[in-house]
């Protein structure tokens, strides 16, 4: 085949350190916009960003040349620095780990809706319940002793 064709969409999920609810509603949208800017700076496509006080979800299209670990490192380090310097929350940091789930093109709108409606979703489920469900639905092997 003379050319390359890709559809690499990821649902990224990561929480604040110790799942502390440090992301205040007053600046949450600004953080989400900043995260989207980081994805764009890395030549990715932010499709939807959402979350609550203790975690973030990003639906993004990435390129074949992206290293997922590098994308996550940049998202977390740059946004933490932004929260420290611009928002002034010095205790803010992200947990070391993250979840990354591939999303087929046919499921993008459903995942976009899910990411967008995090506030409503978490009226019924905790972050821990949500994350366990994502792992199970994605067929990811895990040991719950090492999740939290």
Q: Kindly state whether residue 4 falls inside one of the protein's structural domains.
A: no
Q: Kindly state whether residue 2 falls inside one of the protein's structural domains.
A: no
Long-range contacts of 83-92 (CB under 8 A, 24+ apart): 83/31, 87/27, 87/30, 87/31, 89/22, 91/20, 91/22, 92/16, 92/22
User: Would the pLDDT of 148 be above 90?
Assistant: no
- What's the pLDDT score for residue 52? 97
Q: Kindly state whether residue 108 falls inside one of the protein's structural domains.
A: yes
Mean pLDDT of the chain: 95
User: Would the pLDDT of 56 be above 90?
Assistant: yes
Q: Kindly state whether residue 82 falls inside one of the protein's structural domains.
A: yes
Instruction: State the total domains in the chain.
Output: 1
3-state helix/strand/coil string of 70-120 = HHHHHHHHHHHHHHHHHHCCCCCCECCCCEEEEECHHHHHHHHHHHHCHHH
Residue range 76-121, pLDDT digits in tens: 999 999 999 999 999 999 999 999 999 999 999 999 999 999 989 8
Query: Domain range holding 58?
Result: 9-146
Per DSSP, the three-state class of 18 is helix
Per DSSP, the three-state class of 60 is strand
Q: Kindly state whether residue 3 falls inside one of the protein's structural domains.
A: no
Q: Kindly state whether residue 139 falls inside one of the protein's structural domains.
A: yes
Q: Kindly state whether residue 60 falls inside one of the protein's structural domains.
A: yes
pTM (2 decimals)?
0.94
Q: Kindly state whether residue 35 falls inside one of the protein's structural domains.
A: yes
| CATH code: domain of residue 37 | 3.30.70.1290
- What's the pLDDT score for residue 104? 96
% the chain with pLDDT above 70? 100
């Amino acid at each position: 085949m003379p050319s390359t064709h890709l559809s690499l969409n990821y649902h990224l999920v990561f929480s604040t350190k110790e799942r502390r609810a440090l992301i205040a509603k007053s600046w949450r949208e600004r953080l989400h916009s900043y995260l989207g800017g980081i994805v764009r700076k890395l030549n990715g496509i932010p499709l939807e960003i959402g979350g609550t006080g203790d975690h973030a979800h990003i639906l993004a299209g990435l390129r074949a040349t992206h290293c997922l670990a590098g994308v996550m490192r940049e998202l977390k380090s740059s946004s933490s620095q932004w929260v420290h310097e611009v928002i002034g929350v010095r205790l803010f940091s992200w947990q070391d780990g993250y979840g990354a789930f591939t999303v087929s093109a046919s499921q993008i709108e459903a995942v976009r809706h899910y990411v967008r409606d995090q506030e409503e979703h978490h009226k019924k489920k905790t972050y821990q319940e949500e994350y366990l469900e994502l792992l199970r639905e994605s067929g990811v092997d895990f040991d719950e002793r090492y999740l939290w």
